[in-house]
Structure 1
Amino acid sequence: MTAETHTPLLNEDDLREIARWAAACAGRALPLFEAKAQDDSRPRAALFAIGSFAQGGKRTSALRKLAWAAGQSAREVGDPAASAAARAAMAAAGSAYTHPIATPHQVNHILGPAAYAAQAATLAADDPADVLDAEIRWAISQASPKVRQIIQRMPARAPSKGQFHALLYRLDTGLRT
């Protein structure tokens, strides 16, 4: 491996750009969670916190704790669409902690909020195929040129098995065009 392989690819401005996109994607799915768990504010709190980070706030341990709390909501809600929506909020809040190294795993962290949000919408839909395509197109259309540049600096995802991984792959390839 060369020294270039270990050169950090992400700075704080990049993380804020990713966070903005992540929050927008996850926010789109939040009503699906709140419809099933009106009294659980953990995913909304995680989205509020990542929105604050995206606007210049500090990356604190409280943000990480809010991400974990949204993940706990996903495990407790008992509805697949609501669970995916809470995972979107968890992944969005966690996007501030994406490591500045070029690995497929880090690409998953960047794409995760959009993928979970699309999954949530699909699970809640009467016509899942049409909804999935629309959600992927929406997420890609909301990515700023800088988010696309960040994705392009990272290694491309390879096709892999499983619905969720196929969704990550579609987002990745769509953001590279």
Structure 2
Amino acid sequence: MTVADENLAIELSMAELREIAGYAVACAEPALAIFERARPDDRRPRAAIDAAQAFADGAQRTRVIRDNAWAAHRAFQETRDVGQAAASDAARAAVAAAGAVFLHPLAKATQVVHILGSAAHAARAFELDAGEDSRVGADYIEKAQGLASPVVVSVLTRYPNAPSGRGRAGELMRELDAALRRLATGR
């Protein structure tokens, strides 16, 4: 894919966008327990997930979703800054779930983060919560693969492969990306 190809529009219906948001929520929501155990009075990540779920269920895409995503992003930063790594990635999964609502129909690898970022950050949160046990992350990626509907897989395969970088969460995202693409091709 060339730089010019990255500006091509990808067909993406509202129903598909809602399916992507629902998938992102389903992947991020289990990790909320990690965040809420560390910060029981902080509702920002839950509010971001709830806003994304409302969109998946048929609500309009509004500024409220974006505002909740930014608030959850601040929760991610705060937990990161005080060394609560597992809680930080759990909050980041919530940010990614809300961000899925804003998937752009442009052929850019970075857009894959909107589709798979919540699963990758949730997997990383579970890994960190289990003392850096990579098997826990791999198990969660397998679970996230099972959560992906044919619609999610179809939308994903319209985009380039997941981007490089982004640390361990990026590795987990690329593993999930490759697994879902294999599903699409039957290999």
- TM-score, normalised relative to structure 2: 0.88
Q: 5 Å matches for 1:126-141? A: 126=131, 128-141=133-146
Shift of 1:129: 2.0
Task: Provide the residue aligned with 2:107 in structure 1.
Answer: 102
Compared CA separation, residues 91 and 161, structure 1 to 2 (3 A): closer
Deviations 1:83-117 (A, max 9, x none): 00001001101111111111101012211110100
1:48 to 27, 47, 50: 50
Q: 1:92 to 1:158 in 2, by over 3 A?
A: closer
Q: Tell me which of 105, 108, 116 is aligned to 1:111.
A: 116
Matches within 5 A, 1:122-161: 122-126=127-131, 128-157=133-162
1:168 to 154, 165, 173: 173
Other structure's SS at 1:99 match: coil
Q: Amino acid of the residue matched to residue 114 of structure 1?
A: A
CA deviation string 1:42-82 (max 9, x = no partner): 11111111110001000000110000000101111230000
User: Match for residue 33 of structure 1?
Assistant: 35
| Aligned-partner Cα distance in 1 for 2:163–2:40 | 38
Aligned to 1:153, the other structure's residue is in SS state coil
Q: Find the aligned partners of 1:42 and 1:162 in 2 and give their Cα distance.
A: 24
CA distance in 2 between counterparts of 1:63 and 1:138 reads: 26
- After TM superposition, the runs of 4+ consecutive aligned structure 1 residues lying more than 6 A away are none
How far apart are 1:159 and its partner, in Å? 5.6
**1:161 Cα deviation (Å)?**
7.6
Distance of 1:114 and 1:21 partners within structure 2: 9
Q: RMSD across aligned C-alpha pairs, in angstroms?
A: 1.8
Unmatched 5+ stretches in structure 1: none
Once the two structures are TM-superposed, the CA of residue 132 in structure 1 deviates from its matched residue by: 1.2
Q: What are structure 2's unaligned runs of at least 5 residues?
A: 183-187
Q: Identity over the aligned pairs, expressed in percent?
A: 44
Shift in alpha-carbon separation, 1:152–1:80, aligned structure 2, 3 A: same
Distance 1:88 1:108 in 2: 11
- Partner AA of 1:90 in structure 2: V
Q: Is the 8 A contact 2:110 2:162 kept in 1?
A: no
